[in-house]
Amino acid sequence: MTQKKLFGVTTLDVTRANTFCAEALGRPVADLNVQVLGGHAGTTILPVLSGIPAQTFTDEQIASLTHRIQFGGDEVVQAKDGAGSATLSMAYAGAVFTERLLEAAAGKPDVVECTYVQSPVAEKDGCEFFSSPVRLGPNGVEEILPMPALSAVEQANYDSMIGDLKTQIQKGKDFGN
């Protein structure tokens, strides 16, 4: 399998980030495209809320929204009294990501999605895989874009989660071997 065609779907976290932030801002979900970095397990999910144009979140709101995005699946399970999971959300995210992959495969220019790939973005911190914005094209990953600027709160979240992400990556690699 080529590295250019191996993706972890971050779209579920992006969908939650867009939905929860749109609700908090009183804006249409379609107007948002929140970048989500890191991994896909609790605190390793790092939404870049400071990148939302014209947002005015306080540090407390960023902390609250970040936690909600990180643990959005738990919210659904609790709403279902433990009798299910966020399957519709996962299906929606899978469909959106597939649509974007098909657009890129067909040659549509500038298809950028956050996805979990083998990446140099967090190599300095010991993470061989990382979710970040990626330009997609007919061959899969065409370009791994640099990590966006982070606010002080987001940088602190990055610093506190990166060790956990590194451990999770190693567990995944060990399992695969």
Buried b (16+ CB within 10 A) or exposed e, 59-71: eebbeebbebbbe
Of the candidates 9, 36, 40, 104, the residue annotated as catalytic is: 40
Closest CA relative to residue 112, chosen from 87, 140, 134: 134
- Separation of alpha carbons 4 and 135, rounded Å: 11
CA distance to 69, 76, 91, 99, per residue, from 87 (Å): 16, 9, 6, 18
Residue 67 annotated among the catalytic residues of the structure: no
Q: What is the DSSP string of 80-111?
A: TTTS---HHHHHHHHHHHHHHHHHHHTT-S-E
Strand partners, 36: 47
Q: Three-state DSSP class for 8?
A: strand
Phi, psi angle pair for 80, to nearest 5°: -95, 15
- Residues carrying an active site annotation: 40
